[in-house]
Amino acid sequence: MREPTRVGPGARCATGRWAAGRVRTGRWCVAWSAQGVAPVVMRPSAFAAPTALRNAQVADPREEVPDAAAVLRELDGLVGLMQVKATVRELAAYATVQRWRSAAGLRADGLVLHMAFRGNPGTGKTTVARLLGRLLHGLGFLERGHLVEAERADLVGEYVGHTAARTRDLVGRASGGVLFVDEAYSLNRGGDKDFGREATDVLVKAMEDRRSALVVILAGYRDEMDRFLRSNPGLRSRIPLQLDFPDYSLDELLRIADQMLTERQYRACPAARARLRELLAGPLGRAATATGNARLVRNLLERALRHQAMRLVRGGTPADVPSAQGLMELLAADLEGVLRPQDGPIPLVPPGMHA
């Protein structure tokens, strides 16, 4: 790691773009505030984005190092997640103080920032991981801060020796940034002869060998992640941080819906918002929320927007183009039929059979 150059708040320097992997949730984050943390920036080396990653971007040296305070403001705009935000604040403060101590000639503790994110789908794990990479880049602890997303299929090969090579390749591509392994517990599901264990062993070694140049985040359901961390003797000891992502409350889901609509220049009329509350509070809505959370809200709104479009163009002529307000407004009728049985948990009884 090169010696960082300290700059004042708001300063920038040229750097490369972080690579984005699979985007599975909509952008519904807004802003957060931080008190006077001066970013520490570093000039990065070249980065080649993984060809296997979907939506990967090529590094652009004209891009700027993220302003740490701006990233913190963005993080604060995420709905809920108060304990997660508090932990990230602590990490940012501690990292900054260690840099200050080093600059003053005092002993500075090394940072090991590998983490486990535990929670149901749609609770913001990938979003926080992406922001964390940018934050650590802005503070000078990661050269790139890009996010490389992976799952079992990206790590585990089909024959002996293939898994280690694939895993090392992903680790190399994520170097200088964050390697986010979703449903990480699936690496431990195939028994003693499964290649998933080999991938885990390679990750454990990389966590140790590259601890100052790479952050590994293992994510998944709480119980499954607890069992997975116990499955490898060296795994838990190398992951000092475990963050829980709780399910969103009904009010939080409605706030997320409002943010999603505002971002796309739509708004729900009072009756439509009341109807959305009814859907999410009903039996099917409660069951679906546990398996979808913000992702469920996004899917419901996507269907409602399609219903609105059909309502506006049905029987219309060019002379019937609605006003700007009409194009923005969602009505209660647009939400009818948006919540479907398949949005809930997988049924225990196969279709066509009776319990």
* pLDDT value, residue 316: 67
Q: Can you list the domains of the chain with their CATH numbers?
A: 5-245 (3.40.50.300), 250-343 (1.10.8.60)
Residues forming a β-bridge with 150? 181
Straight-line distance from the first to the last Cα atom of the chain, in angstroms, rounded to the nearest whole number: 61
User: How crowded is residue 49: how many other Cβ atoms within 10 Å of its Cβ?
Assistant: 20
pLDDT band at 15 (very low <50, low <70, confident <90, very high): very low
Mean pLDDT of 89-104: 90
* pLDDT value, residue 47: 27
Question: In angstroms, rounded to a whole number, what is the distance separating the alpha carbons of residues 72 and 67?
Answer: 9
Exposure string (b/e) for 290-299, b if CB count within 10 Å is 16 or more? ebbbbbbbbb
Q: What percent of the chain has pLDDT over 70?
A: 75
pLDDT band at 191 (very low <50, low <70, confident <90, very high): low
- Angle in degrees, 0-180, between the axes of helices 283-292 and 294-313, rounded to the nearest 10: 120
Q: Which residue has the higher pLDDT, 347 or 299?
A: 299
Residue 157 has pLDDT above 50, yes or no: yes
Q: What percent of the chain has pLDDT over 90?
A: 39
Nearest CA among 183, 222, 212 for reference residue 199: 183
Mean pLDDT of 57-79: 74
Sort 63 into a burial class: Cβ within 10 Å, 0-12 / 13-18 / 19+. middle
Question: In angstroms, rounded to a whole number, what is the distance separating the alpha carbons of residues 269 and 126?
Answer: 31
* pLDDT value, residue 262: 94
Q: Which residue has the higher pLDDT, 159 or 19?
A: 159
User: How crowded is residue 201: how many other Cβ atoms within 10 Å of its Cβ?
Assistant: 17
Residue 159 has pLDDT above 80, yes or no: no
Q: What share of the chain is helix, strand, coil (3-state, %, to 5)?
A: 45, 10, 45
pTM of the predicted structure, to 2 decimals? 0.73
Question: In angstroms, rounded to a whole number, what is the distance separating the alpha carbons of residues 287 and 283?
Answer: 6
- DSSP 8-class letter at 322: P
* pLDDT value, residue 130: 94
* pLDDT value, residue 344: 53
pLDDT band at 141 (very low <50, low <70, confident <90, very high): confident
* pLDDT value, residue 317: 67
Residues in the chain: 355
